[in-house]
Amino acid sequence: MKKITFVFIILLLLDQLTKLIARWFFYEPAEELPFVGLETVQNSGIAFSIPVHPFAITILTLGILAYLAWNLATKELFSWETVSFTFIFTGAVGNFLDRIFIGSVTDFIRLWELPIFNFADIFIFFGVMLYVSYSLKNAKEDVA
């Protein structure tokens, strides 16, 4: 559990520090490469800036965090499921902290024509993909 806690803290610091830097420096869009840029936007919605009432976002986030925390506390350490839940949990906490202290989530990475996102979003995406892979692998093993 100590290693998972360490990973959580490092990832959360990465997320929060990059958002802070983005709020300070990326007011104007900065195109680094033709398909990647840095541009700060404040997202009050959920994924892809879908508008949802803040109370609904709070309830949904707290429910997800409670579920993930319970699983992290009761699962076998260092399984792929634990790693995936840690990434999802860290991303959810990072964005939730923004909502609590700023009122919206700071997004700043622009990639092609995708919606602008942040490291917390990357952690959530990676964790979900890892969890889906883990679940499909276990489902195949259960069938065999």
What Å distances lie between residue 92 and 45, 63, 96, 113, 134, CA to CA? 14, 11, 6, 24, 20
Q: Mark whether 98 is an active-site residue.
A: no
Q: Lay out the sheet containing 30-33: strands in order across.
A: 30-33, 36-43, 105-111
Q: Which tokens sit at 84?
A: 């995936």
**Catalytic pick among 15, 98, 121, 142:** 121
Q: Mark whether 142 is an active-site residue.
A: no
Q: Which tokens sit at 51?
A: 């508008």
Q: How far apart are CA 64 and CA 127, in angstroms?
A: 13
Task: Compute the 3-state secondary structure of the chain and give helix, strand, coil in percent, each to the nearest 5.
Answer: 65, 15, 20
Q: Catalytic positions, please?
A: 107, 121
